[in-house]
Chains A and B, each alone.
Chain A
C-alpha cells in the first residue's frame, strides 16, 4: 500500500513544551504579519500531555514571553512556590541547608508548582486556537530526506503490523508529512533526534550527553499535611555519596503532591535500582510524614538530559532543527527544562519564520543558534555549566564545589569542567559490587513495579513488532548477564526486562515485556553495549498520564 503525503510549511515532531511553543510562535508571527503558514504537529501520546512527566516547578520566564497574558488566559499555573526547603538526608535524619547558603539556582521565588502535562494541554488548546493542526496518536517513525540530503519531513508509523513485521488484517500504512522545515521536539533521547545527530554529526566536538532518570508519583494527601506551594528538595540518603541523585516533594493544589526521585544515569553500580531507591526514599521520616494516610494516584518515569552547555549539539541541519530536550536544553542544577524548552522553541520558530518569509526552504536555520548565543537561556546554561561535572566527583564534594562555583563566584568561575565518559560506559562489572538488598514494598507507602506500571495506564498492542529492538539478540545473555548481572532488570522502571530460566534454573533468556513500556528511554541510554534501540511503537500507545 502506498503512503499518502501532505505538504506543510512546518512539521513539528513532539507535543511537549518545546514543540508546542515552536508551533505557537510560528502561528503568532504569521498572524502578526497577516500571512498564512501551515503548521502540523504530531504527538505519539494518545493526547497532548499523555506522555509528559515532569516535576515540576516552572519558571514562568519563557511562558511570559510567549503569552504575556498567560495568567488571564487561564494557564494552569495555580500554585506559586510558597516555601523552599533543602535538606541533606541521612538514613533517619535530615540537615536543613539554610536558604542563605543555597546557590541562587536552588531558589524558587516567583516559580510555580505545576503539572507540566496540564500546562501542555493548555498550550495545545492555545496552539489549536491559533491554527496549528495537532494530531495526537501519531509517532514520527522515520525521517525523510530529499534528493539533496536535506530533511524533508517525517513519516508516521504503520498500524496493524504483526509481530513478525508482516501486514495484519487491520494494517494501515503510515503517512508522510513534508515540510519546508521540520522541528524535532521529542524530548530527552528522541529516537529520531538521535539518528539525526549521527547522520549530520551534530555532536562532534562536544562532551557526551549525560542523563538522569526521574521517577515520580502523584499522591492525594491528608489536608492537614498539605501546604500549597511548599517545595522540598533533598540530597544524600538513599544515594551513596559517590552516586548523583536527589528527591523532590512538591505540593500542588487540591491536596495533591508530586513526589519523585532523580538518579544520574552515570551511576556505576550495576545492582542499583532507581525504582527501589525511589521507593526507599519515600520511607524517610521527612517524606513519609507527608504521605502517610494519603493515596497514590499516578506513577511514571522519564529520562532527562543533564549535560548542559558542554553537551549541547549543533542545533541545525539542512531542513530542520532540534529544540528542547531533544537537543539537551535543561539547566541541570535546577532540574528545570520546561522554560528552556519553550525558549528554544521560540528562538527556532523566529529563525524559521524569517527564513520562510524570505522564501527559503530546507536550508540551515543558522539564525537560531546565533540568537541562542545572545539569549538569557545561554547565560543561564553557562552559569550552571559546572554542576553535573562537579556532581560526577561525588555528591558531597560536588555539592560543596558547586556551592563555591555558584555562591562565591556566581557562576562566573574561570573554569569549565568536562565529562568525557558517556553514561553507558560507566557501569562496573557486577563482580566488583555487592547486590543491594532493597526492602520489600509495604503496599501503603512503597510498591512493586507491577502495581506501579498499572497506574501509568500504559498499553501497547501485543501483536506488533517489538519496539525495544536488540542489535545483537544474544548480547543480553552472553555479555550483560555474566558481566553486569543483567542491569536492565533493575534500571527499567516498568519491569519490561526479565531474565527467565527453565524449570531447572538453567538456560536463561531475556524476556521483553514491551507492552509495559512507559517510554522513559532509559534502556536506550544505559545499556552498557548500546545494544537496545528504542523504536516508536504504534501511535497512541504508551502511558496515558493524567496531571503528571
Chain B
C-alpha cells in the first residue's frame, strides 16, 4: 500500500508571528519556517504503518516555492521514501492544493492520503476534505487513532465530549489530529540519508491544474492588545468595575 502525505512549509510554531505594517500579511522575512506540525504527525503515522509492514511506500508531497524542498527533506528524515515538489511561486489556496493533490493521486495511485488536519498558518482545515470530494473518496478527519486492515481503515476521531469511531473503505483521505502520535526526532544519520533520497519536481501546468487564487485577502491584522491589568482593593470595587467599566455584569 502506498501512502501519500502532503506537507506544507509554514512559519515555525515557536515564532511570534508579526503582521506587516501595511496589513498585507504576516512578515516572513528571515523568519524560521518548518514543516506544519500536523503534517509531521501524518508523516510519522505513515512511517509507522510502513514499519508495521502495512504500507510499502511513503510519498511526501509539497506544493509551493523551491524552499519547500527543505520541508520534503524533513519528511524524508522522519522516514518518507521519496518526495515530489509541485513548484510554483504563486499564492496557493486550499482548493488549488487539493486539485494538485488530486492530479498526483491520479498519477501515483496511493491507497491512502494521510494529511494534517490543518496548517497552523491559515488554519483553513479544508484541503483534505476538498481532496476527498474531488477524488470521490471517503474521508475521516481529526484522527487520533488509525487502524488499517482488510482494505479498510478504522479511524477514531476526537469529538466534543467523547470519541467517534468510523470505518471507511480505501482509498481514502484521513487527516491527523494532535494526539495521533508523537513524532520522533529526526536524527542526524537520518537527515544525512534523507539528502540522498529521490526528490522530483513538477509544475502545476504539468499536472494541468490552474492554481489562480479564488479568494482575495482584504486585510490581516493582529488581535487587539490586552490592556494593562489593575489591582482592586476589595470585592466591592471589583463588582463596581465589572458593572460600570467593563459592563460585563
List chain A positions with a Cβ less than 8 A from chain B.
Answer: 4, 6, 46-47, 49-50, 115, 117-118, 121, 133, 135, 138, 156, 159-160, 169-170, 172, 174-175, 220, 255, 297, 443, 454-455, 457, 459, 544, 546-547
A172 and B187: CB pair below 8 A?
yes
Which of B15-23, B54-62, B137-145, B172-180 is the interface stretch? Answer: B15-23
Contacts of A117 in B (CB 8 A): 30
Asked whether A175 lies within 8 Å of B30 as measured between CB atoms, the reply is: no
- How many Å from the CB of A291 to the closest CB on chain B? 15
Bound-state CA distance A134–B208 (Å) is 36
Known: A46-B12, A457-B15, A546-B15. A115 touches B30 (CB 8 A): yes
In the assembly, what is the distance between CA of A308 and CA of B122, in Å? 49
Chain A residues near B16 (CB, 8 Å)?
454-455, 457
CB proximity of A2 to chain B, nearest CB, Å: 11
Q: Is there a chain A Cβ closer than 8 Å to B52's Cβ?
A: no
A546 engages B32 (CB within 8 Å): yes
Question: Is the pair B14, A457 in contact by a Cβ cutoff of 8 Å?
Answer: yes
Closest A-B pairs by Cβ, 9 of them = A175-B188, A159-B185, A4-B189, A546-B30, A546-B31, A172-B187, A172-B185, A544-B32, A459-B14
The answer to the question of B160 belonging to the interface, with a C-beta cut-off of 8 Å to chain A, is no
Nearest-Cβ distance from residue B218 to partner chain A, whole angstroms = 22
Q: Are A175 and B185 in contact (CB under 8 A)?
A: no
Q: With both chains docked as a complex, state the minimum distance between the C-beta of B26 and any C-beta of chain A, in angstroms.
A: 12
Tell me the minimal C-beta distance from B223 to chain A in angstroms.
15
Binding site for A on B (CB under 8 A): 12, 14-16, 18, 21, 29-32, 34, 182, 184-185, 187-189, 191-192, 195, 228
Query: Measured between C-beta atoms, what is the minimum distance from B179 to chain A in Å?
Result: 15
* Distance between Cα atoms of A43 and B110 in the complex (Å): 37
B32 touching A297, Cβ below 8 Å = no
Let me know if B182 and A170 touch, CB within 8 A: yes
Q: Is the CB of B30 within 8 A of A118?
A: yes
A-B contact pairs, 10 of them (CB 8 A): A118-B30, A133-B192, A135-B188, A175-B189, A443-B228, A457-B15, A546-B15, A546-B29, A546-B32, A547-B29
Name which residue of chain A comes closest to B190, CB basis.
A172
Question: Closest B-chain residue to A297, C-beta based?
Answer: B18
**B192 partner residues in chain A, CB cutoff 8 A:** 6, 133, 135
How distant is the Cα of A118 from the Cα of B30 in the complex, in angstroms?
Answer: 7
A169 CA to B34 CA, complexed, in Å: 24
Which residue from chain A places its CB closest to the CB of B33 in the assembled complex? A47
Distance in Å: Cβ of A353 to nearest Cβ of chain B:
24
- Set A115, A159, A546: member contacting B187, Cβ < 8 A: A159
Residues of B within 8 A of A443 (CB): 228
Q: List 14 additional contacts besides A135-B191, A175-B188; criterion CB under 8 Å.
A: A4-B188, A49-B30, A50-B32, A118-B30, A133-B192, A135-B192, A170-B184, A170-B185, A174-B188, A175-B187, A220-B21, A255-B21, A297-B18, A546-B15
With A49-B30, A121-B30 in contact, is A544–B15 under 8 Å at CB? Answer: yes
Q: How far is the CA of A170 from the CA of B184 in the complex (A)?
A: 6
**Complex Cα distance A381/B34, Å?**
41
> Which chain A residues border B21 with CB–CB below 8 Å?
220, 255
Cα–Cα distance between A113 and B222 once the two chains are bound (Å): 29
Check A544–B12 contact: CB distance below 8 A: yes
Q: How far is the CB of A222 from chain B (nearest CB, A)?
A: 10
Residues of A within 8 Å of B195, CB to CB, are 133
Most buried by A among B182, B188, B192: B188
Chain B residues with CB under 8 Å of A6's CB are 189, 192
Give the residues in chain B near A255, CB-CB below 8 Å. 21
How many Å from the CB of A193 to the closest CB on chain B?
Answer: 21
Whether A46 contacts B187 by the Cβ 8 Å rule is no
A546–B33 alpha-carbon span in the complex (Å): 11
A47 touches B32 (CB 8 A): yes
C-alpha gap A174/B34 in the complex (Å): 22
Q: Are B32 and A46 in contact (CB under 8 A)?
A: yes
Give the residue of A156, A160, A220, A454 whose beta carbon is less than 8 angstroms from that of B188.
A156
Residue of A whose beta carbon sits closest to that of B31: A546
Residue ID in chain A nearest B185 by CB atoms: A159
Determine the distance from Cα of A206 to Cα of B199 in the docked complex, in whole angstroms: 53
Instruction: Assess whether B30 is in contact with A138, with CB atoms less than 8 Å apart.
Output: no
Residue of A50, A118, A172, A454 with most partner-chain B CB within 10 A: A172
- A40–chain B nearest beta-carbon distance, Å: 9
List of A residues within 8 angstroms of B14 by Cβ: 457, 459, 544
Do residues B32 and A138 form an inter-chain contact, with CB atoms below 8 A? Answer: no
Which residues of the partner chain B approach A297 to less than 8 Å between Cβ atoms?
A: 18
Judge whether A160 and B30 touch: CB under 8 Å: no
Report how far A60 CA is from B15 CA in the complex, Å.
31
| Residue from A49, A457, A459, A547 whose CB has the most chain B CB atoms within 10 Å | A457
Chain B: CB-nearest residue to A169: B182
A138 to B189, CA, bound (A): 11
A157 to chain B, nearest CB (A): 10
Nearest CB in chain A to that of B191: its residue: A135
Residues of A within 8 A of B188 (CB): 4, 135, 138, 156, 174-175
Which of B14, B29, B32, B182 counts the most A-chain CB atoms under 10 A from its CB? B32
Question: What is the bound-complex CA distance between A232 and B248, given in angstroms?
Answer: 49
**A133 vs B185: C-alpha distance when bound (angstroms):** 20
| Across-interface contacts of B30 in A (CB, < 8 A) | 49, 115, 117-118, 121, 546-547
Q: Which residues of B contact A160 (CB under 8 A)?
A: 185
Name the A residues within 8 Å of B189 (CB-CB).
4, 6, 175
Report the minimal beta-carbon distance from B27 to chain A, rounded to whole angstroms: 8
Task: Give chain A residues whose Cβ lies under 8 Å from the Cβ of B18.
Answer: 297
Give the CA-CA distance A353 to B207 in the complex, in Å: 48
Which among A117, A138, A170, A546 has the highest number of chain B CB atoms within 10 Å? A546
Q: How far is the CB of A216 from chain B (nearest CB, A)?
A: 15
Q: How far is the CA of A121 from the CA of B70 in the complex (A)?
A: 15
The CA-CA distance from A159 to B195 in the complex, in Å, is 21
Given A455-B16, A544-B15: A172 in contact with B184 (beta carbons within 8 A): yes
Most chain B CB atoms below 10 A, which of A220, A454, A459, A544: A544
